[in-house]
With several copies, the nearest count.
Chain A
């Protein structure tokens, strides 16, 4: 695995062909409330970046800005070497571009957000077939393989509402994988789950990390973050307070606040 580097530099040459994602000087305000106050980061292909921080520190907002579910106030976002064109107000300039980029980012929500009116297999084939234009049969076979992989093959024809939270979240991961995303985005994928269901989801994510998928992972599971990530970012009040390899961040935190935070979640 390669190391992620948080870039403070604004130097595009630094972005090698290997770069999967780069965020530069990202700001985001809701009305008067400035939630992100200039975040810089980047991840190479295959990196697993864990984002930790207290409640309200802006983790979700950062992730949602990356695929423009929230409109950034300012900053640059580069996905796989392609900068997303922004208007002055931060909204994406080209709908075509943002749709294309989004369909390469696999998002897994805290609340799963599976489409309740479709079965699991339909959930998984939905985007490949209806957005990417993959032939139905092919998409179906691939989807079955993915459901198999997250251990839900025999639930393919079931509607989401009839599954446990853990099963739903695994299906949501399969849905995200179905577009063969260049980056997977996870926003607290286990925090809506009952404790006994957390494990099964973490196992799936752990496998993904092991096989070298690029991932951005907002999580409250410190032990897991430490085990699975190449790079950890600690957000505090909309700024990156400290970052580095997990051993450093968890093992020898420098910032007082990080020390405090780690103590509180232990």
Chain B
């Protein structure tokens, strides 16, 4: 962890001074007059980024558990589809997946008029269900692979001990296997969640207004190019920092020897 003392080294003070000068220069030399006008929109965009990230990571993780489990111990007729799914998701760009889901499916609607009559139509019309679906599947695809390793990584003795005490299978899964697998996966999970955060701007391409779309909007309206992007970069860094911190806290819940 960064301590105050570790920051008070001459070269770090110099670097911080340079950084502060850079920030000051940015504040004075660049244009920020657009901020007040766009602040409400920006807040909404940031909120939507966080919302999408949270929902898709949680759903994706829930999906990743059976995917990982199927690959780790499942019979071949479960393992093979799970592996295929993970390979396809990891093997194609997310941007393409989003488009395929949104525009690809959309291009089928005119051919089937009954879709517009259905109860689901109000949702199918929206962009966010596709975004959530695409990002959830993507996260599940990557995490399924991580969880596979994590499940197989749990020491055999841990499971045997549970068996030996007559734990029912589901209890054993819930109380022993899953928590240990998650513990194993946490370091990777943190990194992958930051990757997921970085994937959220892609949903702007299907007309969802999240942080990136707001920055684009500012650029398009005002032709100010760098300032919104810089601010956007800072926003993502802050969110990534909070994520990294949160995951470190989670990891530290079960202390590890030698750290």
Contacts and interface: CB of A to CB of B under 8 A. Distances in A.
Asked whether any CB of A lies within 8 Å of a CB of B in the complex, the reply is yes
A131 B169 CA distance: 11
B175 interface: yes
A105 interface: yes
A117 B171 contact: no
A159 B254 contact: yes
B166 A109 contact: no
A250 interface: no
Interface residues of A, number: 29
A117 B166 contact: no
Contact of B160 (A69, A127, A159): A69
Nearest to A181: B165
Given A113-B157, A131-B171, A69 B166 contact: no
Contact of A131 (B160, B165, B254, B257): B165
Nearest to A99: B166
A115 B158 contact: yes
> Which of B158, B166, B168, B255: most chain A CB closer than 10 A?
B166
**Chain A interface main SS type:** mixed
Given A130-B171, A130-B175, A117 B254 contact: yes
B14 interface: no
B167 interface: yes
Contact of B163 (A69, A115, A162, A185): A69
Interface in B164-208: 164-169, 171, 175-176, 179-180, 183
B165 A103 contact: yes
Given A130-B171, A161-B256, A161-B257, A113 B166 contact: no
Given A116-B158, A130-B171, A107 B183 contact: no
A104 B164 CA distance: 10
B231 interface: no
A162 B161 CA distance: 19
A190 interface: no
Nearest to B157: A113
B176 A99 contact: no
Interface in A84-115: 95, 98-107, 109, 111, 113-115
18 contacts: A67-B164, A69-B164, A95-B169, A100-B166, A102-B164, A103-B165, A111-B157, A113-B161, A115-B162, A116-B158, A117-B179, A117-B183, A127-B166, A131-B166, A131-B168, A159-B255, A161-B256, A161-B257
Interface of A: 67, 69, 95, 98-107, 109, 111, 113-117, 126-127, 130-131, 159, 161-162, 179, 185
Interface of B: 155, 157-158, 160-169, 171, 175-176, 179-180, 183, 254-257
Given A98-B166, A107-B164, 8 more contacts: A99-B167, A103-B167, A105-B164, A109-B157, A109-B160, A113-B157, A130-B167, A179-B165
